Amino acid sequence: MTKKTKLTDITQLFKDFDIEALEGVSIEGDIELNITGGGGLNPALAYALGQEISHISLHMANIGRILGYPVDQLLAQSLGMGVAGAPSPVGEMVAAKTKIQELLAAKFEVASVKNWTNPIQEVTLGATSGDGGSRKSTITLGGENALPYYFDAEMPHRNYITMDVFDMPIGMAKAVKSNYDDVINDPAEWAKKVVRDFNADMVTIHLISTDPLIKDTSARDAAKVVEDVLQAVDVPIVIGGSGNPQKDPEVLEKAAEAAAGERVLLASASLNLDYERIAKAAINNGHVVLSWTQLEINAQKELNRKLMKQCNVPRDSIIMDPTTAALGYGLDYAYSNMERIRLAGLMGDDELTFPMSSGTTNAWGAREAWMVSSPLAQDSEWGPREYRGPIWEIVTGLALSLAGNDMFMMMHPTSVQVLKEITQTLYGSIESEAVDISNWVGAEV
Amino acid sequence: MKINSPLEAYRYLPGTNCGECGEQTCMAFAAHLIDRSKKLTDCTPMLEQKFSKKLKDLQALLAPEIREVEIGVGEKAVKIGGDDVLYRHRLTFFDPTALAYDVWDTMPENELVERVKKIHDFKKFYVGNFLTLDMVAVRCVSKDPKKFADTVKKVIGTTDLPLILCSFDPEVLKAGLEVAKDKNPLLYAANKDNWQQVADLALEYNVPVTLFSPDDLDTLKSLAVTFAKMGTEKLVLDPGTFPSGKDLKKTFTNFLKIRRAGVEGDRDIAYPIMAVPLTAWMVQDDAVSASYWETVIASIFTIKYGDVMIMHSIEPYALLPQLHIRDTIYTDPRKPVSVQPAMYKVGTPDKDSPVLVTTNFALTYYTVESDLASSKVNCFLWAIDTDGIGVEAAVAGGQLTAAKIKKGIEDSGFDLKNDTTHNTIVLPGLAARLQGDVEDETGARVMVGPADSGRLPGWMEKNWPPKAK
């Protein structure tokens, strides 16, 4: 029995009926369906017909399977080619009645944060000749109205990196030291190198030799080093003491005088030394004070309050260092401490609305950053330390940048380069490389 | 969680203060339900028939905002999602980001097995535990279902880590599922083209499934709503991980938006999120740069709301920071920062054993303690009260001073002269500057140890017992 049935014939045949399903209809023998155009075909009929045809193909497919033909692969291929309106695969037809044929419409919506109403204070470092200094340019930190890189509000300033310079050779991880072998005895050359070769935004000169337990260099001699560094580079600078609470006030006083008008950052005022002297040195010479506390939000509030109320430091002359602990060595505390400080500031705590600075170099204290291999036999191999060190410093800094930190004190050139790239990427100033991720699964990497 | 005070939870509890849960009172138990340190099922009376409605109601109220999805079976199974807050200090983050590393079906068999073993075996000791990797993601590169299935089979034969089966071809996924159906693998992924077939697979095999909609949150939500309607909420959302520039910033924004909407109560989108830092390899040329950039992306999305991630590099310099940043973010911030200041014994010290000084900062203390214990050094370890600050910072900040050390000795009841034969204290290398002061204060002999406690065993060999003066 061979008979050619055209779609139009069937349409003609059933045109006066309101067809919802074909029941008890079976098509046997050779089948040749000639479907041309969709013109005039009753949609209900087309659906019913389609269903019948699909059932036939299901039977046929089963026969094919019995005969050993890779039916499923064939079906998948034809689907994969994306023919519009291609027949559904077997499994789907079986469950056709319970299924959803089209994606349910949905609109994604999310609100902005309502209670970030208090902007972070803007603080400018460095002074150009117009402002009584000799820096070529200045750097402004702060001004945020949201957590960093958040869509709730534009971030007004990018993150900045100041690279460490010491006034004497100090112990450093090998991976760090190898970058500074040629300048280790000359702070001015060292400062030049980090700006010229390593793209530092700023330079921090640490007057470490002034510590009575190290070299006990006089405050006067230390101030000369500051002058040398100011001569050597034209970026804004940070002046750090030795960390000796008895000596630092005097050292920073002399250094502040030597740098008068340059609007440097004096590091640091803390609760365990005579912060009033440091505050006064900053006010008298037009500098900014680094308010340093140790992983304690209430201590940070207390010191900031004392600097403002007791010492009369203007709000635009305070930056905070709430302490950086390295990845694996307390970064969880440092991260949450900074995040809490920033959120409190944004939500209205005026004692905490200051830009933040991180001693990211502390990451090099982590043994994972510098040790040749694990001291523990049970550990898997740690791999080459040349690569472990910089990434330790990067991840430490990156985590804090997400917690709200504005400025990073760092040491390794690779760390500086990568942290700059990622913070500026999140800040939004770096163009994307065109890449199609829609089929990353099959990528050859 | 829809309620936030113990009182609200208490109203549903039996109120008999029976103590079955280990707490004295139902109110105390309610407080633990709110801070999620106890499970409702710890209250055995609640499991009785007469409480079934209250149990159900309270369970709904206590359910985390972000759904919890389990992947894998047995001991190594991972749970992801389950979060209630946007900032870890507000409570803690639950269910650490699951770290998955890829293998692919065009790898030669020996390389495949070797790589899977490396992923399976990698471990890093850290304060009393090992940090380890969680999952293997099997990628179909061949486009051949059989090849993919063979690879999945080989992986299953080599590791019991949970799997992610990665392909956009439903036939490939099906072939993988046939081999891995008892392993509760995560399917990757349904997208706007294949979602119907992938949904069928997810439902038929009852496995969790990832929904992939690069930089299109409306479609991502559509997929999630549709899958939920079809009968599965074991979903993971992948809004696409673009590896560079403004696209990466967009990815960051998408993660923030999804999690914020979820935590703020949009149930339709409150699922775990997947990041794929592996895409770094699509824009970086050399292996070190790619590993670095991949680690950078992984760090961002460990911190900001990624619940499961797929990476490619298995270089230790990438794995170590990834493991540590995960631990950093998921450590419970409510746990104490410090240990009780006291004299502790490591191993079985006697009168000839050294006496070492450290701080009561928990991380410092446990690091030193584990370095000593793992090298079988018997000694006394003195945790001085530094307000929970580490050695270097405490010396700089004045929390670790000679006077503090002397007071620590006195308070502990330990007597150097009678309890040791050597009357000697070993200071941490980072506290070297205190040597003279401590000698003056205590009258003991003071030695300066290495700057890192990992070097203590070597230092002991050379310097202990101390030579007579």
Domains observed in chain A = 123-421 (3.20.20.20)
**Where do the domains of chain B lie, and which CATH numbers do they carry?**
6-62 (1.10.15.40), 66-330 (3.20.20.20), 342-463 (3.40.50.11600)
Nearest-10 Cα torsion for A32, A38, A39, A41: 80
Given pLDDT bands bounded at 50, 70 and 90, which one contains residue A11? low
**Bigger pLDDT: A344 or B410?**
A344
**The Cα angle at residue B456 between residues B372 and B355, in degrees rounded to 5:** 70
Cβ atoms of residues B372 and B454 within 8 Å: no
Chain B nearest-CA residue for A213: B433
Residues B102-138 pLDDT 10s: 999 999 999 999 999 999 999 998 877 899 999 999 9
Residue that has been written with the tokens 């006010």 in this structure: A283
Q: What share of chain B is helix, strand, coil (3-state, %, to 5)?
A: 50, 15, 35
B346 SS3 class:
strand
The residue type found at B423 is N
Residue B164 to residue B278: CA distance in whole angstroms: 14
Is pLDDT above 70 for B431? yes
Residues A94-148 pLDDT 10s: 444 357 899 999 999 999 999 999 999 999 999 999 999 999 999 999 999 999 9
Q: Is the ipTM of this complex over 0.85?
A: yes
Given pLDDT bands bounded at 50, 70 and 90, which one contains residue A42? low
The residue type found at B125 is F
What lies within 8 Å, CB to CB, of A425 at 6+ separation is: B244, B245, B246, B248, B249
pLDDT at A27: 47
Residue A84 to residue A167: CA distance in whole angstroms: 72
Chain A nearest-CA residue for B372: A376
Given pLDDT bands bounded at 50, 70 and 90, which one contains residue B397? confident
pLDDT at A375: 84
Chain A nearest-CA residue for B293: A418
Report the pLDDT averaged over residues A238-243. Answer: 96
Binding residues of B for 5-methoxybenzimidazolylcob(I)amide are: 358, 364, 388-391, 453
Number of alpha helices (DSSP H) and beta strands (DSSP E) in chain A: 14, 12
Cα of B290 to nearest chain A Cα, Å: 10
Count chain A–chain B contacts defined by CB atoms under 8 A. Answer: 269
Tokens representing A377 are 């036999």
Residues of B in contact with A379 (CB under 8 A): 123-125
Please state, in angstroms and as integers, the Cα–Cα distance from residue B313 to each residue in A175, B98, B225, B340, following that order.
22, 15, 34, 41
Please state, in angstroms and as integers, the Cα–Cα distance from residue A438 to each residue in B160, B254, B255, B435, following that order.
29, 16, 18, 62
Residues of B in contact with A330 (CB under 8 A): 361, 363, 390
Cα of B209 to nearest chain A Cα, Å: 15
Of all residues in chain A, the percent with pLDDT exceeding 70 is 78
Residues A322-368 pLDDT 10s: 999 999 988 999 999 999 999 999 999 999 999 999 999 999 989 99
Given pLDDT bands bounded at 50, 70 and 90, which one contains residue B344? very high
A227 SS3 class:
helix
